[in-house]
Amino acid sequence: MKLDTTQEKIKESIDAASDQVLNVSHQIHDHPELGNQEFFASGLLVQALREHGFEVETGFAGLETAFCARKGKPDSKPVVAFLAEYDALPEIGHACGHNLICTSALSAGIGLGSVIDQLQGQVRVVGTPAEETVGAKVIMAERGYFNGVDAALMIHPHTGNFYTTHSLALTALKVEFFGKSSHAAAAPWEGVNALDAMLLTFNNINALRQQLKPDVRIHGVISKGGDAPNIIPEYTEGHFYVRAQQRVYLDEVVKKFYACGEAAAQATGCRVEFSKYEEDFDEMVNNLALAERVRDYLVENLDSGPFEYTPEHFGSIDMGNVSHVMPAVHVLIDIANGQNLSPHTRPFCDAAATPYAGQAMLRAGKALALTGYDVITHPGILQQARTEFEQYLNRPAS
- Helix or strand or coil: residue 117? helix
Within 10 angstroms of residue 316's Cβ, the number of other Cβ atoms is 23
Rounded-to-integer distance, Cα 326 and Cα 321, Å: 9
Within 10 angstroms of residue 396's Cβ, the number of other Cβ atoms is 4
**Of 260, 276, 292, at which residue does a domain stop?**
276
- Quick check: 70 and 112 in contact, CB under 8 A? no
Are residues 177 and 68 part of one domain?
Answer: no
Alpha helices in the chain (DSSP H): 5-16, 18-30, 39-51, 98-113, 136-142, 194-208, 247-268, 288-296, 319-322, 346-351, 355-377, 379-393
Are residues 371 and 292 part of one domain?
Answer: yes
pLDDT at 308: 96
pLDDT at 384 > cutoff 60: yes
- Helix or strand or coil: residue 278? coil
Are residues 287 and 255 part of one domain?
Answer: no
Are residues 16 and 148 part of one domain?
Answer: yes
- Quick check: 23 and 48 in contact, CB under 8 A? no
Are residues 288 and 271 part of one domain?
Answer: no
Mean pLDDT, rounded, for 9-20: 98
- Quick check: 205 and 218 in contact, CB under 8 A? yes
What SS3 string covers 281-306?
A: ECCCCCCHHHHHHHHHHHHHHCCCCC
Write out pLDDT tens, residues 30-46: 999 999 999 999 999 99
**Of 276, 303, 335, at which residue does a domain stop?**
276
pLDDT at 349 > cutoff 90: yes
Write out pLDDT tens, residues 72-89: 998 899 999 999 999 999
Write out pLDDT tens, residues 125-150: 999 999 999 999 999 999 999 999 99
Closest CA to 335 of 158, 164, 163: 158
pLDDT at 395: 76
Within 10 angstroms of residue 198's Cβ, the number of other Cβ atoms is 29
Domain count, the chain: 2
- Helix or strand or coil: residue 391? helix
**Of 276, 296, 319, at which residue does a domain stop?**
276
* Confidence label for 397 from pLDDT (cuts 50, 70 and 90): low
Are residues 51 and 21 part of one domain?
Answer: yes
pLDDT at 398 > cutoff 60: no
State the residue range of the domain holding 17. Answer: 5-167+282-393
pLDDT at 365: 98
Are residues 55 and 173 part of one domain?
Answer: no
* Confidence label for 175 from pLDDT (cuts 50, 70 and 90): very high
Mean pLDDT, rounded, for 233-240: 98
What's the whole-number average pLDDT of the chain?
Answer: 96
Write out pLDDT tens, residues 257-299: 999 999 999 999 999 999 999 999 999 999 999 999 999 999 9
